């Protein structure tokens, strides 16, 4: 113990490794202290080549009186993938500011891609040190595939929550980071990916619905949520635990398996009924399709795609109850477990019976279902399986506002007898966040690339999705090619910045849009203003370099690229040194 303790102290003194803390404090030139994100917070859990970064933020180290400080905790869905500029946190900023312009809201997007509740637990403990008023916890999608999950590619599965706790303590230490680096150096972690491969990395890590390891996952999830809630409550924050919305109506399972023990004759019966269901479905004969798929399910009730098609046909033929149930069951049977299943959401909802003061469950999954066609969440709120489009982010943020408003009044930040607020509508939110045709076009292009790769490429309904997104991409190109579009874009960004002058993200996005549309001279000042607030945002630095390059200033471009390379050596599009 003494030797290990001495090693740990020595490594820290010599600056080895990275702090696992979510934030650090920095001082501006005028001496003002600011809280910033720690770009290395996930280093204990990911190899350097695939490390996941938090969203940049800056809040005063000294919290001003009357300020409401909110942290949105979770993974990629909470963060706002594929574009965090239009995340739950950003939409909440607009809704709350428009309702209460006299209140200063500091909303930190603490979501990070690919993490799960095990990592969020540590982040929550760190955020609890920053005088929070509210924790919004939106987590559940990565419990199986995230660190220590049974379907992960990042770390070994451990059989008990106690073992995970011990492993987390080791990984967060400098000694643990040294051991991990040594293992990488000598090739002892060959199962770990050498590059970020997106969701396709998990194709060989399917987990069946009856896998006993899922029980450990659910137990660990419950413990983590309780610890996250306790961290917030101990700091005086109200904690909103949110159930997780998933696309079940228009998102087929990623991967299905037949149940064990089916002989050739049974498989032939299943195939005949399944094919007959597909034929009836193609002909628009939904009731007949439901009957055929039900016959296939009678042979194999573990095949996720069969249950999905059965549920879909039942919905279309008017059998809402069975259709909704089977679409949920299809998600639960999906072998690639990227979505929060019914048992994980049940764990979240179970906290609703808790008597802990300051803890509230917000059933966002049920609320999203209730305002969706056929009362099953689909493409109207989500881009794909779990990530919100701007309509979905607005829906979730709006559904959180009632609980937030109640807390504001309880704390006296808003007068208890103040009139009920009128919440801004989606059109105003889109204007305030500058959700322009350029931003939409970039999101469509990112999603089109995503849908062209595994595991999406293997889904039954992916080709129809690709056709739809290719059309959207072509439409965006036509809109952005109109001569008047540059004027319209400039007006949209100018109006958004005028309404939110302290929003560095708006300036960055506007600058990036201008550079990408051939207006580098107009974009560069905005990018430099964004960099004055957040000097180490890789996207800003890349756009600054591109702007200088477009203007023929090679030296300035090289300087910006060098700064970016020091931050992110693997940033896409970096020129060779």
Q: Which of 282, 319, 313 is nearest to 295 (CA)?
A: 313
What CA–CA distance (Å, rounded) separates 499 from 503? 9
* φ and ψ at residue 344, rounded to 5 degrees: -65, -45
CB 461 within 8 A of CB 252: yes
pLDDT for the residue 199: 78
CB neighbour class for 573 (10 Å; exposed up to 12, middle 13-18, buried from 19) = exposed
**Cα-only R_g, the chain:** 25
pLDDT for the residue 194: 60
What CA–CA distance (Å, rounded) separates 149 from 267? 32
What CA–CA distance (Å, rounded) separates 55 from 37? 7
What CA–CA distance (Å, rounded) separates 341 from 334? 9
* φ and ψ at residue 563, rounded to 5 degrees: -65, -40
pLDDT for the residue 190: 54
Tokens of 223: 């413990």
Q: Report CA dihedral (37, 39, 41, 46) to the nearest 10 degrees.
A: 150
Instruction: Characterise 434 by phi-psi region: left (phi > 0), alpha (psi -120 to 50), beta (else).
Output: left
Give the angle 553-559-560 at the CA atoms, nearest 5°.
90
What CA–CA distance (Å, rounded) separates 335 from 460? 15
Q: Report CA dihedral (64, 68, 73, 76) to the nearest 10 degrees.
A: -100
Element (H or E) spanning 295, and its range?
Answer: helix 286-299
What CA–CA distance (Å, rounded) separates 575 from 518? 20
CB 8 within 8 A of CB 174: yes
Strand ranges, E, within 244-381: 359-362
Could you report the average pLDDT of every consecutive run of 10 residues in the chain (577 residues)?
A: 86 91 94 96 91 97 96 98 98 98 97 97 98 98 94 82 92 91 74 67 87 95 97 98 98 95 97 98 96 98 98 97 98 97 98 90 98 97 98 98 97 95 97 97 97 92 95 96 93 98 97 96 98 97 98 96 95 91
pLDDT for the residue 126: 98
Q: Which of 447, 341, 441, 558 is nearest to 82 (CA)?
A: 447
Three-state SS for 104?
strand
Element (H or E) spanning 15, and its range?
Answer: none
Cis preceding-peptide flag for 562 (omega within 30 of 0): no
What CA–CA distance (Å, rounded) separates 529 from 135? 30
What CA–CA distance (Å, rounded) separates 355 from 364? 20
Q: Which of 95, 200, 12, 99 is nearest to 413 (CA)?
A: 99
pLDDT for the residue 205: 82
Q: What is the pTM of this model?
A: 0.95
pLDDT for the residue 191: 55
Cis preceding-peptide flag for 349 (omega within 30 of 0): no
């Amino acid at each position: 113990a003494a030797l290990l303790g001495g090693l740990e102290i020595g490594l820290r003194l010599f600056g080895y490794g990275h702090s696992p803390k979510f934030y650090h404090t920095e001082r501006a030139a005028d001496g003002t202290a600011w809280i910033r994100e720690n770009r290395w917070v996930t280093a204990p859990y990911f190899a350097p080549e695939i490390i996941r970064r938090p969203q940049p933020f800056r809040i005063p180290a000294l919290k001003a009186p009357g300020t409401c400080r909110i942290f949105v905790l979770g993974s990629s869905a909470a963060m706002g993938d594929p574009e965090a500029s239009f995340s739950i946190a950003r939409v909440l900023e607009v809704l709350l500011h428009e309702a209460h312009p006299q209140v200063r809201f500091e909303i930190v997007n603490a979501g990070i891609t690919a993490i799960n509740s095990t990592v969020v637990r540590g982040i929550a403990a760190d955020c609890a040190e920053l005088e929070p008023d509210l924790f919004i916890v939106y987590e559940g999608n990565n419990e199986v595939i995230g660190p220590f999950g049974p379907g992960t590619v990042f770390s070994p599965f451990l059989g008990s929550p106690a073992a995970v706790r011990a492993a987390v303590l080791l990984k967060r230490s400098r000694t643990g980071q040294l051991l991990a680096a040594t293992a990488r150096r000598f090739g002892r972690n060959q199962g770990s990916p050498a590059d970020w491969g997106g969701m396709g990395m998990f194709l060989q890590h399917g987990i069946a619905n009856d896998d006993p390891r899922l029980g450990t996952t659910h137990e660990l999830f419950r413990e983590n949520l309780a610890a996250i809630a306790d961290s917030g409550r101990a700091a005086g924050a109200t904690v909103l635990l949110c159930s997780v919305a998933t696309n079940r109506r228009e998102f087929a399972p990623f991967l299905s398996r037949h149940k064990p023990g089916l002989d050739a004759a049974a498989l032939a019966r299943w195939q005949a009924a399944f094919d007959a269901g597909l034929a009836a479905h193609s002909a628009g004969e939904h009731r007949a399709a439901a009957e055929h798929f039900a016959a296939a399910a009678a042979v194999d009730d573990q095949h996720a795609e069969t249950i999905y098609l059965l549920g879909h046909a039942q919905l279309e033929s008017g059998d809402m109850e069975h259709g909704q149930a089977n679409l949920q069951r299809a998600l639960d049977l999906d072998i690639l477990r990227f979505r929060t299943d019914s048992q994980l959401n049940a764990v979240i909802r179970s906290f609703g019976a808790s008597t802990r003061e300051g803890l509230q469950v917000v059933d966002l999954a049920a609320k999203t279902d209730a305002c969706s066609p056929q009362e099953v969440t689909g493409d109207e709120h989500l881009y794909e399986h779990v990530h919100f489009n701007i309509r979905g982010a607005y829906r979730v943020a709006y559904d959180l506002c009632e609980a937030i408003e109640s807390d504001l009044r309880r704390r006296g930040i808003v007068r208890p007898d103040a009139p009920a607020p009128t919440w801004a509508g989606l059109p105003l939110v889109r204007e305030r966040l500058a959700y322009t045709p350029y931003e939409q076009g970039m999101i469509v292009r990112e999603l089109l690339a995503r849908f062209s790769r595994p595991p999406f490429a293997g889904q039954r309904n992916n080709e129809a999705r690709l056709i739809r997104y290719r059309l959207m991409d072509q439409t965006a190109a036509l809109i952005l090619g109109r001569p008047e579009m540059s004027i319209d874009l400039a007006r949209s960004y100018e109006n958004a910045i005028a309404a939110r002058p302290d929003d560095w993200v708006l300036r960055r996005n506007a600058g990036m849009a201008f550079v990408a549309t051939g207006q580098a001279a107009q974009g560069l000042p905005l990018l430099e203003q964004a960099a004055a607030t957040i000097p180490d945002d890789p996207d800003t630095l890349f756009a600054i370099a591109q702007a200088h390059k477009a203007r023929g200033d090679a030296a300035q471009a090289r300087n910006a690229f060098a700064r970016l390379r020091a931050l992110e050596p693997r940033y896409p599009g970096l020129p060779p040194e």
